[in-house]
Amino acid sequence: MYQQSDVDRKFTREVIVEEDDKPPDPGSVLTSLNLGNLDLSHFFKPSTHRSLEIIKRKRPPRSSARTRLFRRTWFPDASDHQWNDWHWQIRRRIHSADQLERILKLSPEEKQAVEFSGTKLPLGITPYYASLLSPDDPNHPLRRTVVPTMHEFFTMPCEADDPLGEESQSPVPGLVHRYPDRVLLLVVDFCSTYCRYCTRSRMVGHGAFHAAKSRLEKAFDYIRKTPEVRDVLLSGGDPLTLSDERLEWILSQLRQIPHVEIIRIGTKVPAVLPQRITPQLVKMLRQYHPLWMSIHFTHPEECTPEAYRACRLLADAGIPLGSQTVLLKGINDSVETLKELYHNMMKMRVKPYYLYQCDPLSGSGHFRTPVEKGLEMIQGLRGFTSGYAVPTYVIDAPGGGGKIPLMPDYVLGRDANSWILRNYENGEFRYPIS
Ligand code: SF4
């Protein structure tokens, strides 16, 4: 038999309630605690239910003041239901010069680029993401990532439309097989918001790749006949812009292939369209474990209440979350900015995974930093913050060589007896060879 004090210790719970929620009645709490047949009702008498502490905590607001102001200004008629509906966000995307000019004071360089683009990567920004942009400052970091400038139209000799040589490593349309045991499956070419530095800007947003069953079945056939493939990364475009039904069909097809051990999804949705992460979506996703997710976060200003909620839903569904961040000149190329981003992500249960050197994509020179800058970022993070908050800095080798990790040099040399090493504070240490 439990003593009352044991029960108190065992079943005391913190029930976090919304500010505007009523505290639950003791009966419903008992049910939600799933205590089986144990009769605990006498511990929850209305006047004395000491063993249940209901702690009313103030939750962070559901959206930032900036987003609320933007919405009131530009979408005053949108109901909460519409604003929080991902289909509505996609339908109301900003995709023309006129729409953009209505909400942002465009610089001449931006205005010209928006009017000029057509064959290049399209313009597309969800209202939610547009709410995070500065209306006046063309150098605002997030604004630079999604609003085109004329720099996109200048190609340097070292740049290419397909810098990673993906086309030459594609045995069937939309599938890239570069590494021995894993493949990249481009399921769709659509994104809710287009990043101006997108490595696949040669194909995304042009309507060339639909998630058509006939095309995808060829990819599944290839995977089925290639038993060394144990890991499939779904990317695009953004796979999470597909409907739950189409995504589930893809996941279920892959899960029927015995040698596919893990499935990963690469997405920017939690940053640009967090409304897409619904309880229904995560309920479906969690049926296809082991399922991992690589989220594309760029800057601390993307870590909004909406993004936190999206990552919480995903993490609570048992999906390990990692992030891929491209190092971008004048946007996130300082240790302070990256540290803030990574600390925010750790709170969102997203492990900083890769920090990418910007690929030599046509028209990306204005985004690219020298490699020394990337090494400086790692040097400034390693040892100065949690190891979990330090990503691997990589160059994706032009021409299809795969990811090559780069580290500041911590090995100073060796002599007959020891390795000579330096630590994060430049202290010199010796480690015995044998
Ligand atoms: S979300 Fe990814 S695929 Fe889409 S535009 Fe951005 S980088 Fe490209």
Residue 57 has a pLDDT of 56
Per-residue pLDDT of the chain (434 residues; tens, 9 = 90+): 333 333 333 323 322 223 333 333 434 433 433 444 444 444 344 444 455 555 555 666 789 999 999 999 999 999 999 999 999 999 999 999 999 999 999 999 999 998 876 657 999 999 999 999 999 999 999 999 999 999 999 999 999 999 998 888 999 999 999 999 999 999 999 999 999 999 999 889 988 788 899 999 999 999 999 999 999 999 989 999 999 999 999 999 999 999 999 999 999 999 999 999 999 999 999 999 999 999 999 999 999 999 999 999 999 999 999 999 999 999 999 999 999 999 999 999 999 999 999 999 999 999 999 999 999 999 999 999 999 999 999 999 998 899 999 999 999 999 999 999 999 999 999 999 98
The H or E element spanning position 176 is strand 175-179
Spatial CB neighbours of 86, under 8 Å, sequence gap ≥ 6: 192, 273, 275, 276, 278
Please give the pLDDT value at position 8: 34
In 3D space, the residue among 375, 368, 293, 308 whose CA is nearest the CA of residue 343 turns out to be 308
Domain 62-407 top-level CATH class? alpha beta
Active-site annotation holds for 191: yes
**Secondary structure (3-state) at 185:** strand
| C-alpha span between 220 and 254 (Å, rounded) | 7
| One-letter identity of residue 236 | G
Give the pLDDT confidence score for residue 356 in this predicted structure.
97
* C-alpha–C-alpha distance, residues 32 and 11, integer Å: 12
**Rounded Cα distance, 69 and 60, in Å:** 17
The catalytically annotated residue of 182, 246, 268, 339 is 182
Ligand 1: list residues with CB < 6 Å. Answer: 191, 194-195, 198, 200, 204, 236-238, 268, 296
Pocket of ligand 1, candidates 238, 272, 273, 302: which has the most ligand atoms within 8 Å of its Cβ, to mutate?
Answer: 238
Does the predicted model carry a pTM greater than 0.75? yes
**Domain map (residue ranges) of the chain:** 1-59, 62-407
What H or E segment, with its residue span, contains residue 218? helix 213-224
Task: Pull the structure tokens for residue 292.
Answer: 């991992």
Residue 403 designated active-site: yes
Residue whose pair of structure tokens reads 């559901």 in the numeric block = 62
